[in-house]
Amino acid sequence: MSEPLLSVEGLSTYFYTDRGVAKAVGDVSYSINPGETLGVVGESGCGKSVTALSVMRLIPEPPGRIVSGKIMFDGTDLLSLSEKQMRHVRGNKISMIFQEPMTSLNPVFRVGDQIAETLILHEDLSKKAARDRSVELLKKVGIPSPESRVEDYPHQMSGGMRQRVMIAMALACNPKLIIADEPTTALDVTIQAQILELMDNLRETTGTAIQLITHDLGVIAETAHKVVVMYAGRVVEQAEVRELFNNPLHPYTRGLMRSIPGLGAHADKERLETIPGMVPSLLNLPQGCRFHDRCRHAFDRCRLEEPQLDPAADGHLVRCWLCQE
């Protein structure tokens, strides 16, 4: 096995507010190998995006702060770098694709200029060379007539086209890692499939690793090699994708699978199930297992003690007293 490209160890990120401390991410660890896709899945508010922003060192301070942990990328601890050094990493070695391209692209600049800006900054290209490269990148991500579309403003493009522009920007400097935060949420199903296929093809051809953040286990099943399941700021299960879908262990993971049509052992059920209750407030996390008040299998120990993330099988980790019992 090669050394991991990204290794996150014991990451905790808190937000200090007037109402108290929101423990958005607590003791999160995972790794991504070169050329691999890691899926990070969970409900809204479970810490997926905050984890990604922590890796990029984009947590707003104040109110946020990374309080502990290590983020090793290509042999360097990103938390030890100055802000100037991190600017060289962002967009160059690690790129991020955000959920809604209309808020990520600047509406008053042509898309070609926005791609070229990254190339001029990190690759030291001339304006003409950067524009030519922008046309190549638009062609690479499947935008027709790239020579003319490079002159378009974001509002002149469809949602799918804007997301392809975001991917082109992410690929501009041949990064080693792309973090994609819900890259298909705002798109219709047909365009979603095209974007996911595009990202997977680019990973295969360029060797770029991908951290794919989503709430959709169907997307994870089709694209990821490994999966991290998060709940209330914690990793509750982690496994190879086939192992996770064949043998989900944590009640939360099972609940997610039962709520999605055509997945896992519950594919033959006509009626989909829901997970009762809500994700707990990060300002007032429950004692014991953070999932216990929504879990049909909870017993006394679950309400009193929080389980550790322990191995259940080769490469399969789970945070659950039921599995350890």
pLDDT in tens, 279-322: 899 999 999 999 999 999 999 999 999 999 999 877 899 999 98
- In tens, the pLDDT along 215-239 reads 888 888 888 999 999 999 999 999 9
Q: Is 90 exposed, middle or buried (0-12, 13-18, 19+ CB in 10 A)?
A: middle
> Domain boundary residue among 121, 153, 172?
172
Could you give the percent of the chain with pLDDT greater than 70?
A: 95
- pLDDT-based confidence at 270, cuts 50/70/90? low
Q: Are residues 110 and 31 in the same domain?
A: no
CB-based contact 39:218 (threshold 8 Å):
no
Is residue 200 in some structural domain?
yes
Is residue 240 in some structural domain?
yes
- What's the mean pLDDT when you consider all of the chain? 89
Q: Are residues 65 and 206 in the same domain?
A: yes
- In tens, the pLDDT along 13-63 reads 999 999 999 999 999 999 999 999 999 999 888 999 999 999 999 999 889
Say which CATH number the domain at 21 has: 3.40.50.300
Q: Are residues 74 and 221 in the same domain?
A: yes
- Judged against a pLDDT cut of 70, whether residue 267 lies above it is answered with no
The total of other beta-carbon atoms located within 10 Å of residue 105's CB is: 20
Q: Are residues 133 and 226 in the same domain?
A: no
> Domain boundary residue among 121, 148, 172?
172
CB-based contact 96:181 (threshold 8 Å):
yes
Beta bridge partners of 313: 316
- Token look-up 């990064």 returns 175
Rounded Cα distance between 79 and 56, Å, is: 10
Q: Are residues 149 and 264 in the same domain?
A: no
Rounded Cα distance between 323 and 81, Å, is: 40
Two tokens, residue 112: 């070609």
Phi, psi of 25 (to 5 degrees): -135, 130
- Judged against a pLDDT cut of 50, whether residue 265 lies above it is answered with no
Closest CA to 289 of 310, 308, 275: 308
- Whether omega for the bond prior to residue 63 falls within 30 degrees of 0, making it cis, is yes
The total of other beta-carbon atoms located within 10 Å of residue 158's CB is: 11
| Domain enclosing residue 17, as ranges | 6-93+179-276+309-324
Number of independent structural domains in the chain: 2
- In tens, the pLDDT along 181-200 reads 988 776 778 878 888 888 88
Rounded Cα distance between 24 and 46, Å, is: 7
Two tokens, residue 91: 């967009």
- pLDDT-based confidence at 268, cuts 50/70/90? low
- Token look-up 């070169």 returns 34
Rounded Cα distance between 178 and 199, Å, is: 10
What 8-state DSSP symbol labels residue 50? H
The pTM of the full predicted model, rounded to 2 decimals, is 0.88
> Domain boundary residue among 114, 147, 172?
172
Closest CA to 297 of 312, 316, 280, 275: 275
Q: Backbone dihedral region of 314: left (phi > 0), alpha (psi from -120 to 50 degrees) or beta?
A: beta
